[in-house]
Homo-oligomer: A and B are copies of this chain.
Amino acid sequence: MLNPNLQTTQIAYSDDMINLAVGQPALSILPTEMMSQAAIAFAQQKNPEYLNYGKEEGDGHFRQALANFLTEQYGFPSALDEFFVTAGTSQSLMLICTLMTQPGDTILVEELTYFLALNLFKEHHLNAIPVSMDENGLDPDALEKILKQMGKPPTLLYIIPSYQNPTTVNLSNERRQKVVDLSQQYGFTVVSDDVYQMLGYEGETPTAIAKHIAGDSVISAGTFSKILAPGVRLGWIQAGPEILKKFRKSGLVASSGSLNHYMSGQIRLALEQGMQTAYLQELKQVLNHRLNLMDRTIQDHFPLETVSYTKPEGGYFFWLRLPEHIDTCVLRKEAVQRGLGFTAGPLCSPSGQHQNFMRLCFTFYTEDEVVDGVKRIGELLKEKV
């Protein structure tokens, strides 16, 4: 039996648990073969410059390769001087809090959001106020109302505009424009967590919010975690010149140089040789297949007369509304005893609401396990409705 002290990954697979709360890729989905090839090709270059401290904002060649990749993916031009390289979006958020907020500041977040970001904000002594959402994402009218009521504008607005976690909705292009306009009018920074921006499988993906960075009121935080591999810990901030200056001049990179320098050299090669583009194309097919599988299984096994959801068009998740009398925090305990897991709505709600919602992820288990897990959660729900 594995010594638990020797565990390598954050979440270990277990024979008696299908936890559809886990928002991570399956080991089988990860680009093991491709990353091995990229690592070997990079190692064979024997470039000592990637072993030394890297330029504060990141290697220029890597940023050029990234700009080319995003120009292709986003459909509008990006340039290397729009980027600051980080060790992933979580670190980007941590740096944003350290460099752009003061303890005690108020920030705005979506009423449903990435729950682990809330911890990061708390650790930086920020007060997060939720803004309501609907099926088109954050409601700009609600946002404007809050802004008008606040004596002092918030420092930041944190949003996940594409294939949102947990709601799966997209913020429409018109709303993106409205949010950006408000940020300039009221003087706050939009921090856009664009982790799922490139994971659209069906329909049209809204334009990446990075299109709006020129006005220096928008930060797009991107990452290789969901389009390549979380273990590489490589991400970026895309922003205007005034914002980027703060990051380039930060105490952290003055001391450490670029935040994941060696790895940026390896991923530069994967970008330049088209490996990342090819893998992303393949990945979207694999994830779309899983999304459809989860959808069919829900259709076949959930009590649909009382459960509703919109089939997502991208991302990692399903977001389901259950009958009002069901408290998913309570239901979850029962599920765990049956070897099942899901994310209870209130966990994703800064105000602790949405008791009768659940989030399911289709990426971490085998397809058979995803089907089995959904079926058995369906059985549990049928007992309750």
Contacts and interface: CB of A to CB of B under 8 A. Distances in A.
6 contacts: A3-B60, A5-B64, A33-B46, A50-B231, A52-B230, A119-B251
Contact of A60 (B7, B33, B265): B7
B124 A252 contact: no
Most buried by B among A11, A24, A32: A32
A41 to B, nearest CB: 9
Contacts of A232: 51, 261-262
B257 A260 contact: no
Pick the 3 closest A-B CB pairs, nearest first: A119-B251, A6-B60, A39-B43
Q: By DSSP majority rule, is chain A's interface helix, strand, loop, or mixed?
A: helix
Given A8-B59, A31-B51, A119-B251, 16 more contacts: A6-B61, A7-B55, A9-B49, A10-B52, A10-B258, A36-B46, A40-B44, A51-B229, A51-B232, A52-B229, A98-B98, A99-B123, A119-B255, A123-B250, A233-B259, A263-B263
A120 B95 CA distance: 11
A27 interface: yes
A251 B33 contact: no
Interface stretch (A80-88, A176-184, A349-357): A80-88
A35 B8 contact: no
B53 A10 contact: yes
How many subunits of this chain does the assembly comprise? Answer: 2
A116 interface: yes
Interface residues of A, number: 81
A98 B94 contact: yes
Nearest to A262: B231
A154 interface: no
A382 interface: no
Contacts of A263: 233, 260, 262-263
A87 B36 contact: no
Contacts of A40: 39-40, 43-44
A331 interface: no
A384 interface: no
Interface string A231-270: 1110000000000000000111011111111110100000
Interface of A: 3-11, 24-25, 27-28, 30-33, 35-37, 39-40, 42-44, 46-56, 59-61, 64, 80-81, 87-91, 93-94, 98-99, 102-103, 114, 116-117, 119-120, 122-125, 229-233, 250-252, 254-263, 265
A8 B252 contact: no
A227 to B, nearest CB: 12
Contacts of A251: 90, 94, 116-117, 119-120, 122-123
A4 to B, nearest CB: 8
A37 B81 CA distance: 33
A63 to B, nearest CB: 8
B5 A254 contact: no
Contact of A39 (B4, B7, B8, B42): B42
